[in-house]
Amino acid sequence: MRPETKARVLEAIRELDYTPAKVARALRKRRTEAIAILVPDISNPFFSLLARGAAAVAYRSGLSTLICDSNNSTETEDLHWETLLAEEVEGVVFVPAGRPNAGKLQRVLRRGIRVVAADRVVEGLPGVRADNRRGSAELTAYLLELGYRRFAYITGPEEVGTVRERLRGFQEALEQEGIEPLAVRHGEFTYEDGYALAAEILSSVEGVEIIVAGNDLMAIGARRAAEDRGLAVPRDLGITGFDNVLFAGLVRPRLTTVEIPAFALGKAAMELLLEGEREGIRTLPTRLIPGASTAPKGR
């Protein structure tokens, strides 16, 4: 282009304070260059960290990012799918709230929208998840080594994949030693349900040495329930969590837990999305974080 013309154009841009309108561009190019991140609860640090990881990758590729919060509800999730269809996003990093609506998902996929599952695996979708089963098994092996033998397990809703994987790793590790858990209880992944389930177990099950929780928040709730019954942690009762969210390291005694790389999970999911991956599950390793909420159990 002639330098003079270029200068005149640049001058006009400045003068009019011109910014290209993305909507018009998207309409003409038939590409919105927008992707969405759909999570169950953005105010949960685990998911917001995951969303951050995903957004960082999208941002580098010049894509706009829409963060949608399904508020732990499949119905809200469905509403969001409608919006995303109307927005014509090109892809979605998806953390399902529970068992996702297969019909909606099919419609989205038929429209050519790529969807990658993150953290929680969805049948028929490519995805990135943490090695929950192994992480849970390693944790359990560590607890067995410490000398714990009488276990109770509290966790989230049964229909969530990560809940089942963690439970399975736990049970398999126990089976190797010929041990059965004294109790297994399901609730929501909240502080309140952690408290309630632990309280119920402590008052109805004899001789529990340790409560293994499906996530950190439940573990903290359980610890509180133990305290309220006058039990000291780890002296009278061991407690473990899962996720290694920020506060797991802030509470005293520091929680024994398993780190799930939330940011990396989001990052990897978005990378899979941008590479156009259509299938396959990538599994990221977890890491055992020993804390002072468990201690060697002399026998």
Partner DNA sequence: TTGAAAGCGCTAACAG
Partner DNA sequence: CTGTTAGCGCTTTCAA
Helix axes 132-146, 161-176, angle to 10 degrees: 40
13 or 102: CB nearest DNA: 13
Contact positions with a second copy (CB under 8 A) in 144-183: none
26 or 141: CB nearest a second copy: 26
102 or 281: CB nearest a second copy: 102
CA 28/CA 113 separation, integer angstroms? 18
Q: Which 3 state secondary structure label does DSSP give 154?
A: strand
CA 47/CA 265 separation, integer angstroms? 10
- Rounded least distance, CB 38 to DNA, Å: 22
The binder of 251, among a second copy, DNA, none, by C-beta within 5 to 8 A per type, is a second copy
Q: Which 3 state secondary structure label does DSSP give 178?
A: coil
Q: Name the CA dihedral angle for 88, 90, 93, 96, rounded to a multiple of 10 degrees.
A: 40
The binder of 16, among a second copy, DNA, none, by C-beta within 5 to 8 A per type, is none
Q: Which residues are within 8 A (CB) of 104 and not within 5 positions of it... i.e. 6 or more apart?
A: 78, 81
82 or 177: CB nearest a second copy: 82
Contact positions with a second copy (CB under 8 A) in 174-233: 191, 220
Should residue 52 be labelled a site residue for a second copy when binding is judged by CB under 8 A? yes
* C-alpha closest to that of 87 among 14, 36, 147: 36
* C-alpha closest to that of 234 among 264, 211, 265: 211
Should residue 45 be labelled a site residue for a second copy when binding is judged by CB under 8 A? yes
52 or 164: CB nearest a second copy: 52
Contact positions with DNA (CB under 7 A) in 4-43: 4-6, 20-21, 24-25, 27-30
178 or 250: CB nearest a second copy: 250
CA 89/CA 34 separation, integer angstroms? 5
Give the chain's end-to-end CA distance (angstroms, integer): 84
Peptide bond into 253 cis (omega under 30): yes
Q: Which of 35, 69, 122, 139 binds a second copy (CB under 8 A)?
A: 69
Q: State the residues that interact with a second copy by CB under 8 A.
A: 17, 19-24, 26-27, 32, 42-43, 45, 48-49, 51-52, 55, 64-69, 82-83, 85-88, 107, 110-111, 191, 220, 246-247, 250-252
